[in-house]
Structure 1
Amino acid sequence: MTTVPPSSAPARLAIATCAELPELDQDDRLLRDALEARGVATAAVVWDDPTVDWSAYPTVLIRSTWDYTDRARQFADWTRRVEHSSALLNPAEVVAWNIDKTYLRDLEQRGLPIVPTIWLDPERNMDARAIHTRFPAFGDFVIKPTVSAGSRDTGRYEAGDTPSRMLAITHAKNLLGVGRHVMLQRYLRQVDTVGETALVYVDGQFSHAVRKSALLAGPYRRDETEGVLYRRERMAPRDASEAERAVADRVMATIPEVFPGLDRPLLYARVDLIPDDEGKPVILEVELIEPSLFLEHAPGSAELLAAAVEARL
């Protein structure tokens, strides 16, 4: 493809980021370069900068806005405001649904396999005993808030170890005590050996997959994530199995059922799968807001995404 010289024209596309990454994440820089090679003028813009006139940008692409989980309502309001004046990728209604991991219940109700999950509601004012009764009798389990990203505020605990169960109770109580909804999930041990598979879709079509190593080694410790956007992950290219593709493809086919008003596939999506005890893939997360797309691990994927973005301008 012939490279188009950089243009001095006003940016047609705002790439929304956070204040900690004003020059974008590495993956997004690859995308920006691919867009500019196609003659698409871009600007990296901090999503919560009060001085920004978003109506100046015909299209806004949500990317590394990774601090939004601390202000989820503010972020959702921002997406709705932006959508009044610009084309927002992905749409605000999808963002609002995907912010809270209770979306997994919607997928499960539609027959999709998710990691076994128990949901704890802060409005129930659960005491330590009530929380304790929700824990599994054996094996490891994970506690995390339903609104979080990058494994923040997340811990792994041992059901058969009394001190670990006590730490888990404290973790859950602290989250519930400040009004946060909590997920309690079985820790599926095959993730330690097989890892997690992240399948990336562009414009509704499968693009590539990567292997993500397990992150959680022990209980939640505030000092490990205080002031940190996300835990560092180790990734490598991976060929998704037929079973993984089948589950992820079902997720992508289900999204139009959840949002019947969508007139075209989402620009991007990532489906994170891990194996259950029998080795069958189950859904850990579906990332539709600002997922890392691991473009550097898939040659040509930045150009593929850039072409899909340009087609929507």
Structure 2
Amino acid sequence: MRIVLVTATELPVPEDVELPVLQAAASRAGLTADVACWDDPAIEWAGYDLALLRSTWNYPSHLERFQAWVDATAAVTRLVNGPAIVHWNSVKTYLGDLHAAGVPTVPTTYLAPGEPVELPGYADIVVKPTVGSGARKARRFRGGTLSAATAHVKWLHAEGHTAMVQPFQYRVETDGERALVHVGGEFSHAIVKGAVLSSVTGVRGEHAHPDVRPYEPTAAEREVALAALAVAPEAPLYGRIDLVLDDTGSPIVMEAELIEPHLFLEHGPGAADRLLTAVKDLLAG
């Protein structure tokens, strides 16, 4: 069977280092895996038995085009994760769905263009667009700079974005951010990484994933991650749930990455094989 790992023509990093790892795992599973870009009009997607979304990391800049491609591709081959998940997960208003379902999440206020810019009364806040990745266009503002936060919301509105405002979670600076990877609905592995937004500049540093190291999540963290996955419109074949600890030390969801997450395969022995075996089983079913 022939599958394709889907990337993009322009990446915010030099390369997706996980693609060759997944290609090798595909070969071990008895699959032929090509690599192609979602935004390459020359690709004949119908020629593949399955398209596995991987590093489509430029989609936030081309959301409507990407969503149209998702629907068109899913009409001619099996797309994983599927269109319902992609449409839901590509806009961070899904955090509201998680909250409504009782999943602990970072409190989030949404401010759409045209709405009054009234910030919640947090002393230390994060402002970012509802469509984005890698903390791009995200900024942290402390008490004395909240007027700058208002200006950043207005700038996001001028760029056509709905803004989201969240209280900064202080424990990320000491306890880090956890990323729990799941394959086939089951926990695979996890990492913990440092804070992405600088405590000095308020913006992202050089790396989207600083100071990564393996991590063994607690039972409570696993429970929250599984609860978040269960809210998706359909069961995802793969996913990464990013958690932080709130002021009480309880895990809460910061992001649910179900489209093109970096999976930290180097920290999950056998994870690539588990994913490609799940792909093979999906095709066989």
TM-score range, shorter chain: over 0.9
Matched, 1:65 2:27: no
Match for 2:119 among 119, 128, 134? 134
User: Is residue 100–residue 146 contact of structure 1 (8 Å, CA) maintained in 2?
Assistant: yes
Counterpart of 1:145, as a letter, is P
Q: Tell me which residue corresponds to 2:75.
A: 84
Structure-1 separation of matches of 2:8 and 2:21: 17
How big is the shift at 1:135?
4.1
User: Is residue 212–residue 236 contact of structure 1 (8 Å, CA) maintained in 2?
Assistant: yes
How big is the shift at 1:305?
1.0
Q: TM-score, normalised by structure 1?
A: 0.85
Matched position secondary structure for 2:171: helix
Structure-1 separation of matches of 2:160 and 2:136: 17
- Matched ranges for 1:6-155 at <5 A: 12-20=2-10, 25-124=16-115, 126=116, 131=117, 133-138=118-123, 140-155=124-139
Equivalent pairs, count: 281
Q: TM-score, normalised by structure 2?
A: 0.93
Matched position secondary structure for 1:108: helix
- Matched ranges for 1:1-313 at <5 A: 12-20=2-10, 25-124=16-115, 126=116, 131=117, 133-138=118-123, 140-159=124-143, 161=144, 164-217=145-198, 218=200, 231-255=208-232, 259=233, 262=234, 265-313=235-283
Highest Rg: 1 or 2?
1
Structure-1 separation of matches of 2:122 and 2:169: 15
Q: Which ranges in structure 1 are unaligned for 5 or more consecutive residues? A: 1-10
User: Is residue 157–residue 219 contact of structure 1 (8 Å, CA) maintained in 2?
Assistant: no
Counterpart of 2:160, as a letter, is G
Structure-2 separation of matches of 1:292 and 1:234: 15
Structure-2 separation of matches of 1:253 and 1:74: 28
Counterpart of 1:245, as a letter, is R
Counterpart of 2:168, as a letter, is Y
User: Is residue 270–residue 291 contact of structure 1 (8 Å, CA) maintained in 2?
Assistant: yes
Matched position secondary structure for 2:273: helix
Matched position secondary structure for 2:217: coil
User: Is residue 17–residue 24 contact of structure 1 (8 Å, CA) maintained in 2?
Assistant: no
Structure 1, residues 157-190: CA drift from partner, whole Å, max 9, x if none? Answer: 102x1xx223212211100122210000000100
Identity within the alignment, %: 38
User: Is residue 168–residue 219 contact of structure 1 (8 Å, CA) maintained in 2?
Assistant: no
Matched position secondary structure for 2:92: coil
Q: Tell me which residue corresponds to 1:4.
A: none
Structure 1, residues 240-264: CA drift from partner, whole Å, max 9, x if none? Answer: 0111011112122333xxx2xx4xx
Counterpart of 1:119, as a letter, is Y
Counterpart of 1:158, as a letter, is R
Matched position secondary structure for 2:188: strand
User: Is residue 6–residue 36 contact of structure 2 (8 Å, CA) maintained in 1?
Assistant: yes
How big is the shift at 1:14?
0.9
Q: Tell me which residue corresponds to 1:5.
A: none
| RMSD, aligned α-carbons | 2.0
Structure 1, residues 112-165: CA drift from partner, whole Å, max 9, x if none? Answer: 1110111111132x3xxxx3x414252x11000000001110001102x1xx22
User: Is residue 122–residue 167 contact of structure 2 (8 Å, CA) maintained in 1?
Assistant: no
Structure 1, residues 267-288: CA drift from partner, whole Å, max 9, x if none? Answer: 1011111000101011101111
User: Is residue 209–residue 237 contact of structure 1 (8 Å, CA) maintained in 2?
Assistant: yes
User: Is residue 200–residue 270 contact of structure 1 (8 Å, CA) maintained in 2?
Assistant: yes
